[in-house]
């Protein structure tokens, strides 16, 4: 997978987050290449703490760039199980590898069924390409 191309392995949200299912109840989340391009040079990332609960559709953190500050929205209701601590010292990884070492957080859903329901409403690569082409 390219560090900048949307992948068929990922799911996407209309708010420009990508979601990778990493297990029956777990996902890894980041912002898309399109989002980081719109932001410009990322200089700071604010993320929730491990153990925090996030609610689908609400802000779970912020990505600050030289141009603006943008919210990152939770694509599902879940518990934070990992945070990319490398971004504290190197927030530019969001720009250089949005789909690799620029990931943001990992979440764990309550059950495989609830995660299945959440991902069913997300966009595939073609669907996401349709909203960024305009």
The span from the CA of 97 to the CA of 109, in Å, is 25
Asked if pLDDT for residue 112 goes beyond 70, the answer is yes
Residue 5 lies in a domain: no
Residue 29 lies in a domain: yes
Task: Write down the pLDDT at residue 7.
Answer: 77
Q: Which residue has the higher pLDDT, 125 or 29?
A: 29
Residue 19 lies in a domain: yes
Task: Write down the pLDDT at residue 1.
Answer: 41
Residue 6 lies in a domain: no
- How large is the average pLDDT for residues 59-86? 96
Task: Write down the pLDDT at residue 6.
Answer: 65
- How large is the average pLDDT for residues 100-122? 96
CATH number of domain containing 111: 2.40.50.100
- How large is the average pLDDT for residues 6-32? 93
Asked if pLDDT for residue 86 goes beyond 90, the answer is yes
Domain that holds residue 103: 11-132
Share of the chain above pLDDT 70, in %: 95
Residue 4 lies in a domain: no
Task: Write down the pLDDT at residue 5.
Answer: 61
Number of domains in the chain: 1
Residue 1 lies in a domain: no
Task: Write down the pLDDT at residue 69.
Answer: 94
The pTM of the full predicted model, rounded to 2 decimals, is 0.93
Residue 59 lies in a domain: yes
Instruction: Report long-range pairs for 32-37 (Cβ below 8 Å, ≥24 apart).
Output: 32/6, 32/98, 32/128, 32/132, 33/3, 33/4, 33/5, 33/6, 33/98, 33/99, 34/132, 35/63, 35/70, 35/98, 36/63, 36/94, 36/95, 36/98, 36/102
Residue 3 lies in a domain: no
Task: Write down the pLDDT at residue 132.
Answer: 83
């Amino acid at each position: 997978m390219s560090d900048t191309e949307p992948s068929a392995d990922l799911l996407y949200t209309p708010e420009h987050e990508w979601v990778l299912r990493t297990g029956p109840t777990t996902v890894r989340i980041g912002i898309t290449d399109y989002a980081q391009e719109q932001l410009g040079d990322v200089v700071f990332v604010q993320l929730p703490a491990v153990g925090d609960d996030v609610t689908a559709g609400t802000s779970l953190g912020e990505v600050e760039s030289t141009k603006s500050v943008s919210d990152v929205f939770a694509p599902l209701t879940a518990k934070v199980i990992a945070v990319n601590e490398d971004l504290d010292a190197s927030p530019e990884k969001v720009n250089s590898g949005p789909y690799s070492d620029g990931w943001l957080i990992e979440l764990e859903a309550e059950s495989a069924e609830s995660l299945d329901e959440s991902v069913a409403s997300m966009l595939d690569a073609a669907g996401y390409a349709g909203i960024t082409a305009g």
